[in-house]
Structure 1
Amino acid sequence: MPSQIYTILYISECRERTSSGFLVVNATGYARLENNSDKFQKLNITAFYPTDDSKPCYLPKLVEGQVLSVSNSKFAKGVNGELDLILNSASILNIPPEDLPIHQIMVVGIATATETATTNEYGVQVECVISDYLSKDKLVETPITLFHPPGSRFANQTTMIKRGSSIFFSGALTQVETNLYLELHTFSFIRNQTFAPKQMPWTTKTPTQPSDSSNIPDNFNTPDNPPNTQSDDPTTTQVSENPTSTIQKTLGRTRKNPPTPVSTPVSTPQKRNTRSSYKPKNKARKLADIASDIIAVGDSDIEEFDEQ
């Protein structure tokens, strides 16, 4: 996993060579770590410059006696307590070599714990490894020990480190008997989190056709699902290869034997018997009977009178 180094160093010597269309500069640099004159770190620096002037280059030309501020550069553990540095970004400082300032070597990166965190009288220590490609096919693993003193604010987190934990860190690098140590300044676990992409108004697409088959009506005819047609002749089981002839035969058979329409019962509205329609009828019948009776009585009286 990658890591980057930041420091201020002095260039003591440079050598140049050409390789694969690049001018390769190998330089030796020294970083002053403490006020003590013998406390410094030697770095073997490699810088690449394209020989084609049309290609951009963001590195200053290295010259002996320069003081550089180095950043965003890869590193690995070298031999005899030295550090190998691939220069990616640097700027020249207008400082004489005699006044080289004291500056710690700062490292920011990601490491993998190779052992469980241990606690002793000096604090908490975690054995880790930093993996990075210094070239296209050169994977380098650099062992490093992350630590912090007792009572640090990282104690609750670092004591939970297990073998295989991925750690993001930053801190000051030092070397003791060819072993690299880094005092933690920042620390956090790396967790595998899945984030759903945020839907923006211009990225939302309205579907032109329904994607869910449940939204398609049952009677929707598709080429893959033709409509289930039944023939009038129940003995016919073979489907004609020519749909036009089948339609013509069906139409001719339908014209000869037109289907009998199914009569549906029609409800006849019944006349509502109301008092107004019922009483006049009964009243008329009673008057006729009464008139007949009166006439009959009158006739009988006349006959009796004539007889007298």
Structure 2
Amino acid sequence: MKTFIRKRAVASGLSLIGLIVLVFFLSRLTGDPTSLYLPVDASLESREQFREIHGLNDPILVQFFHYARDVLSLDFGDSIRKARPALQVVLEAFSWTLTLAAVTMLLVTVAAIIFGALAASRVGGVFDRIATFFSLIGASAPDFWIAIVAIVFFSVYLGWVPTSGTGTVWHWILPVAVLFIRPFGLILQVVRGSMISSLSSAYVKTARAKGVGPRPIIFVHALRNAMLPVITVIGDQAAGMLNGAVVVETIFGFPGVGKLMIDSILQRDFAVVLASIMVTAMAIFIMNLLIDLSYAVLDPRIRY
């Protein structure tokens, strides 16, 4: 187990290094932030002073060396836009994204497992056909289109929920609902397929021969053995939700790390862009590691 963790840590560390190098140099290609933060008629002296304060006068390789040295001590620099440590700005936004993703994935996981297991228990039945139909639609529909239609219909036309913000529970309904649809459809299909295979196995037939009821067979005997592929998909969707909530957060004005990243790219706030990517990448690495380790808990035959 320790060897496995070390290998994953080394692989993730190399990936993070490559990510830092790539994003650092690509972000510099967006242009000089001086033109965004100073007036058009600012003097040459003011521009040089601004670049000097933010370390933009040095050659690009020198800038990267200074940045890499500071990152080793978890110093990601200061936000040009907010004049605060970039890491602090990102962690505040990331807490919103993490809460949104956690609430959504909890609802998705519970609903997909229940509906997928029930659909697999009666393959070809009415419930199975309805669940499969809606799950395929949900898995195929693009998030941005669903978000726009939801705002137009539920917020503008019906006036049931706000269009943006986070002030009340009502503000969370549309972002959670939009993020819910795609992973729910994907996970339900995986649960259904895995449960169909598990329900046809020998140990389930033995349990039925012993007189075990249908509910314990579905949710105790078959479900646990069907969870390995399901956990993989849940982990992928959760990681994708942390990394891919950019569109939903931007459309709904949700103050998460996705919206922060887009705003920072447009405003050339390089420190915040890099800190956002680093924090998100670390969260995805930790999540994937925990998912891999959970395999051994669910299936004792697996040992790393």
More strand by share: 1
Task: Classify the TM-score, shorter chain.
Answer: under 0.3
> What's the TM-score once normalised by structure 2's chain length?
0.20
Tell me which structure has the larger Cα radius of gyration: 1
Q: Which has the higher contact order (CA 8 A, sep 6+)?
A: 2
More helix by share: 2
> What's the TM-score once normalised by structure 1's chain length?
0.20
